[in-house]
Structure 1
Amino acid sequence: MTARTIAVVTAGLSQPSSTRLLADRLAEATRAALVDDDVTVKVFELRDIAVDVTNNMLTGFPSPQLREVIDTVTRADGLIAVTPVFTASYSGLFKSFFDVLDKEALDGKPVLLAATGGTERHSLALDFALRPLFAYLRATVVATGVYAASSDWGSVEATGALQQRVERAGRELAQLVAAAPEAKPDDEYASVSFEQLLAGH
């Protein structure tokens, strides 16, 4: 049995949020599809580290808490990234987090993209905003992106259709993760922060 880590990044601002709910469903679907692996899911709500992300953008130095999140995301075997849609695109907090990553940190990493919004007309954000961002980062994005509008949580029929999309996307991510070698740090300095390197550690 292979040990696998799935990192989940969710940019919902409220608590509880439909963005976190969708992220949890996607994580569970992925875990269920990786039946032959020992799967650890680590969920990060960006609202909890929003100040750290902003300070990193201003100073170039991550806080210890942000460094832990970055290390987990970049070393994970797969990534689930979920954002609310604001003004037909991803949230500023979501974009800011991925801006502070090294541009090669997600190179080849299996990624499942998802978004939430008030109406179905925002679903195009998956293909016209999120996919170009992760294509630039050279991630390997699964074919099925999952968008959940408010109406998708409103009835048994709609929720059932959403769950079908969730399970399909989870299987696609699981297939990519299972086909890849187990993630390992690139080298002995993989977990050393820039500040530590400057200090000679």
Structure 2
Amino acid sequence: MTETEVRRAITNERTDLAELLSGLDAASWDAPTLCKGWRVREVVAHMTMPYRLSGPRFAFEMVRAMGSFHRMSDRTARQDAAELTAEDLLKSLWDNVAHPWKPPGGGFSGALSHDVIHGLDITVALGLGRKVPEDRLRLVLAGINPKSVKFFGVDLKGIELRAEDLDWSYGSGEVVSGDAQDLLLVLCGRTLPAEKLRGDQAKRFTRGRRPGR
């Protein structure tokens, strides 16, 4: 994709998510997501953090977190989720669907990945059944590499992730299959509902029991 096409994909992805969030009730905003320890409101607070966080505040929060971006982003997401209402968080997303934010070193493709993955953290956890459009999903999958998998601490030794809905796979070994967007979440260290994956080793990446078992 060209830069213009990627930016259009980002705008469309954020718009789709904002429309979906607009239909959630209060209980859903407080429901857990695939991001450990974060409810829907913390995930949305994290996604919209770059639009609200000024340079000086970012520097201050990094100092407070002793230089750990993970610690800083977790603390900021929890703080903003506590201080802002669901309506505030949703407005922040709507107001910035075309915002030019890019993660350091990630470019616009990294921004799209950020939005897609965290959107799935919400929709999969809530069982909403949303499918990420194929063109956006393929772009995110194309950015997966050993360095990014290592960042998330995923152990894929002896495992091949093989998509059932796209011509895509990652790794080699015993096959664990599922929809490509669910396998993307595996690569990002998420633990999925058991029914999302198939294969004898699927239990390494899932929780709970399959229906009827």
Larger RCO, structure (CA 8 Å, separation 6 or more): 1
Query: What TM-score do you get using the length of structure 2 for normalisation?
Result: 0.28
Name whichever structure is richer in helix by fraction: 2
